[in-house]
Structure 1
Amino acid sequence: MRTKITLLIALMFGLNFGFAQNTEECMTKLSLMSEASKAKNYEAAYQPFMDLRKDCPKYNKAIYVYGEKILNHYIDKAAGADKLAYVKDLLSMYDERLVHFESQTKVGDMISDKAQLMYKYKTELGLSNEEVYNTFDKAYTTDLKTFKNPKALYTYFSLMVDLFDAGKKTDQELFDKYDDVVDKIETEVKISSEGLNKLIAKEEAGTALTKKDKQYKKYYESSLKVFDQIVGSVDSKLGDRANCQNLIPLYQKDYEANKNNTVWLQRAMNKLYEKGCKTDPMFVKILNQKNTIEPNADTAYYLYINTGEQRYLDQTMQLETDPIKKAKLTKKIGLDFYKSGSYGKARQYFQQALSLNPSDKKPHEYISRSYAASANSCGDTNFNKRAVFWLAATEARKAGNTALANSYQAKAPTKSEIFSAGNAGQTIKIGCWIGRSVTVPSL
C-alpha cells in the first residue's frame, strides 16, 4: 500500500513539474516573440511564434496578435510560392485564433480581414468570387458590430455586384445588400460623428483637449473622411443597375408580399427617391402605404416633395428627433433646393444641418458652390461680382476642400485690381439672396 502511495506522489510531482516547465517555456518564448516584434525584428520573432502555435496555442492571445504582423511581414518580402505559403499560413492562423480565443476576438473584424486577404490573392489561391463573398458574408452575419473596415465593406459589396453581373445573384439580393452596406456605413458614421461633435463642443466651450481627446479627434475625422469616400465608391459600383427601369418592375412584382413589411417599404421608397423615380405611381403607392402603417420624417418629406404643401415639410422637422439623422435629412432637403436653384432656401437648411451635426462639413461646400453660382447675379459691379468668390473660397475652406477654395480664390480680384480700385481693407455688401459682407484683403 505504502509503495502505491509513493508511486502516486511521484507521478503527481512529475506531472506538476512537467506542467510548470512547459508554462515556463511558453512564457520565455512569448517574451522572445513579443520583444522582437515590438522592435520590428520579425525574423527573430518568427521561430518563437511558430513554436508557440505548436506547443502553447492557448497560452496567450498575443501569439495571434503579433503573429499577424509577423506573417504579413513575410508575405510582403516573399515572392512566388513562398509568398503564397505565407498567405495560406496566415489564413490558417486566423482560424486557429477563432478556435482558441474566440471570446477575446472581434470576430467580424477578423473574418473580414481573412476575407480581404483571400480577395487580394484570389487568383493565386484558386478561389471563386462566391467563395470570397461567402467569407465576407460570414463576417457580416456572425458579428456585424465589429465588421466595420471601410475597405472590407466595399469589397463585400463589390463582390455582390460581380456575382449579380454573372447571373448568380438576383436584383433583390443586390439591392438588399446595397442597403445593408449603406446602413452599416451610416451606423459607423453616426458613431464617429457623435464622438467628434462632443469634442468640437468641448473646444467651443473653451476647454482644451487632452492628448487622448486629440487622438480620438484625429481618429473620428479620418474615419468620417474614409467612409465618405467609401459610400461614394459603393454608389459608383452599383451604378445604373438600380435605375427606374429595373426598380419599378421589381417593386411592382414584390409589393403585395411586402406591403406590410415596413423595412421593405422604407428601403424601396428611399431607393426610388434616390434614383429619381419619385414621379412614378409606384413610388406614390409605396409612400402612401408606408405613411399609413408607419409614418416618419422620410414619408413626411416625400409627401412634401409630391404635394408642395408646407405642412408636410414642417412635419418632417417635427418627426425626426435624432440629431444625426435630422442633420442628414435637413442636408437632403437643402440639396433638393440647391439642385432647383433655390440657393437661399438651400443655405437655410445647410446651416441647420451644420448646427445639428458640426462634424459633417459637406454643407459648407454646397453653400460655397451656391455663392459661386450666384456671383454674376448678386454683385452690382464687375469687381463686386468677383468679390463673391472670396465668400465662396471661405466656405470651401470650412468644408476642407482646398482645391475648390483655391479655384474660387483665383477667380476673385487680384492684388493689382484691388490697388486700381483703391478699396483695400474696405467692406463690400453683397446683395440678393446672399446678403453677406466681405472684406477686401489689405495690400
Structure 2
Amino acid sequence: MKRKILLAVAFASFCIAPQLKAQDCKQNEELRQKLSIFSEYARARNYNEAYPIWKEVYTQCPTLHYATFAYGEFILQDKLRKSSGAEKAQFAKDLIQLYTDYNKNFPQKLNATEMRIRQALLMFDEKAGSDQEIYNLLHQAFTEDKANFKNEKALYLYFSELVALHEKGQKELQEVFDAYDNVSDKIQDEKNELSNVINQYLAQEEAGTLNDKEKRLLDNSRKRVDNYETIAESVDAKLGQLADCQNLIPLYTKNYEANKNNEEWLRRAAGKMSDKDCTKDPLFVKIVTSLHSVAPSANSAYYLGVLNDKNGNSSKAIQYYNEAVNLETDAFKKSKLLIRIASKHSKASAVNYAQKALTYNPSNSDAYRIMAHAYAASANECGSTSFEKRAVYWLAAQMARKGGLESLAARYDALAPSKVDVFESGLAGKTISFKCWIGQSITVPRL
C-alpha cells in the first residue's frame, strides 16, 4: 500500500512539475530583466548583442512575453542575412521552429495561417524545403482559412509550387486549373475589398480634403491593388501553355459528361476556353449551352456573346453582352463583366466598355489598365509628328496612374518624350490634341 502511494505521488509530481516550471519562469526577475535588455538591443537593431540574451530567454521561458517571438524573428532574420553555408541553414531551421512556437504560445499574435505563410516563404527564399513541403503549407493555409490568406507573394508561390509539382508528374492538370480559378477568385475578392476602401475617398481626393491618415490609406490601397495586378499577371504567365486548347479540350471533353449539370464546373470550363480562345471547338458550344440551360445567368449570356462574336455575328453578340450586363445585379460583378467584354474589343470599343465598368466601380484598376493599353496601342496612328505620336504615352501613363497602376504608368512614361525632347520641341506647357479616335488632349510637361 505504501509503495502504491509513493508511486502516485511521484506520478503527480512528474505531471505538475512542467506546469510549475512554466509558472515559475514568468516570475523569474532575472529573465524579465534579460527580456528588457534584449528588447532594447533589438529596438536599436543591435541584433548581435541581442542574440545570446534573447536565446537564453527563448530557451528557458518561451511563454514569458510575445516580444520574445516578435523580436526573435528580427534577430534570426539578421543572422540569416549575415551567415552562409551550414550556419545559415541552421538559422533557417531555427526561424521555422520559432514560427511554430510563436503560434503555439501566442496564437492571438500569430495565427496558424500566417505561421504557415511565413514558414513557406522562408523555406522558398532559403531553399530550406521541398516543393511538396512548401505547397502543403500554403495549400493548408489557403483551404482552411482563405479569408485571411492575403499575402500577395504567397498567393503566387502557392500556385507556382503546384505547377512545379504537376511538371514532375505529382499533381493532375485538373488540380492546376482548379487552383488557378481559386487563386484568381481570391485576387479579385481582395481587389474588390480594396476598391471599397478607395471608393470611399475618391470624392474627398477630388475636393482636396483628405487628411494625412486618409491619404496614406488611399495610397496604400492603390499600391496593394497594383501588387495584386502584378501577381495576377504572374499567375497567368505561370499557367501559360498548360491551359492552351491542346490541353483544355481533351481534359474538358473527358470530364464533360460527369459535369454537364455542374454549374461551377461549366462556368469555369467556359471561362477558361473563352480566355484561351478555344471557342471555335464544338465543345465550347456544348459547355455554354449546358451552362445556359442549367443556370441562365450573366455568365452564360456573356459566353453566348463570345460565341456569336467568334462566328462573326456582331449584332447578336452585342445583344447577349447587353443581356449579360442587365442580368448581373452586383455592382462589382457587373463592372468585372464589362471588363471582360472590353477585353474582347480594342481601341474605342474597349474604352467605351471600360468607362461603363467605372460607373459601377469607380476604382476598377482593370478598366484603367484597358484604357491605358488602348491609348498606347494607338500611338503610331495619332499625331502628325514623332513627338506627338509619342506624347500619347503620357495619356496612357496618366490613365494608368488614375487606376493606381504605378508600375504600368512608369513603363509608359519611359516611352513618352524625354526632357531633352521636350526642350528641343519648344512645346513645354502647351496642349496637344489627338484627332484620331482617342479625341483627347494632353499638356506637355513643363521643364
Normalising by structure 2, we get a TM-score of 0.81
Relative distance call for 1:416 and 1:56 in structure 2 (3 A) is closer
Residue identity matched to 1:232: E
Partner of 2:266: 265
- What is the CA distance between 1:240 and its match in structure 2? 0.4
Partner of 1:357: 361
Partner of 1:42: 47
Equivalent in 100, 116, 119 of residue 114 of structure 1: 119
Q: Any idea what SS the aligned residue of 2:277 has?
A: coil
> Hey, what's the Cα distance between the residues in 2 that align with 1:20 and 1:94?
21
1:335 and 2:364 matched: no
1:51 and 2:56 matched: yes
Q: Any idea what SS the aligned residue of 2:348 has?
A: helix
Equivalent in 84, 90, 104 of residue 85 of structure 1: 90
- What is the CA distance between 1:399 and its match in structure 2? 0.9
Instruction: Please show how residues 137-156 of structure 1 align to structure 2 within 5 Å.
Output: 137-156=139-158
Equivalent in 70, 77, 83 of residue 75 of structure 2: 70
Per-residue CA distance 1:188-225 (angstroms, 9 max, x = gap): 2222222222222331244223x322332232122122
Per-residue CA distance 1:258-285 (angstroms, 9 max, x = gap): 2232222221111111111122221222
> Hey, what's the Cα distance between the residues in 2 that align with 1:438 and 1:20?
69
Per-residue CA distance 1:25-76 (angstroms, 9 max, x = gap): 4433332232221111222322332233233222322221211111111111
Partner of 2:295: 294
Normalising by structure 1, we get a TM-score of 0.82
User: Contact between 1:164 and 1:174, CA under 8 Å: does it hold in 2?
Assistant: yes
Partner of 1:10: none
Gaps of 5+ in 1: 1-14
Per-residue CA distance 1:81-140 (angstroms, 9 max, x = gap): 211111111111111122222244232122111012122333xx4x43222221222222
Partner of 2:133: 131
User: Contact between 2:379 and 2:392, CA under 8 Å: does it hold in 1?
Assistant: no
Instruction: Please show how residues 12-411 of structure 1 align to structure 2 within 5 Å.
Output: 19=24, 22-122=27-127, 125=128, 127-209=129-211, 211-307=212-308, 308=314, 309=316, 310-338=318-346, 343-371=347-375, 373-374=377-378, 382=384, 387=388, 389-400=390-401, 401-409=409-417
- What is the CA distance between 1:429 and its match in structure 2? 6.2
Residue identity matched to 1:334: A
> Hey, what's the Cα distance between the residues in 2 that align with 1:21 and 1:101?
15
- What is the CA distance between 1:233 and its match in structure 2? 1.4
- What is the CA distance between 1:21 and its match in structure 2? 7.4
Relative distance call for 1:282 and 1:23 in structure 2 (3 A) is farther
Q: Any idea what SS the aligned residue of 2:345 has?
A: helix
- What is the CA distance between 1:318 and its match in structure 2? 1.9
Identity across matched positions, percent: 39
> Hey, what's the Cα distance between the residues in 2 that align with 1:30 and 1:38?
12
> Hey, what's the Cα distance between the residues in 1 that align with 2:26 and 2:268?
61
> Hey, what's the Cα distance between the residues in 2 that align with 1:78 and 1:417?
54
> Hey, what's the Cα distance between the residues in 1 that align with 2:306 and 2:41?
63
Partner of 1:434: 438
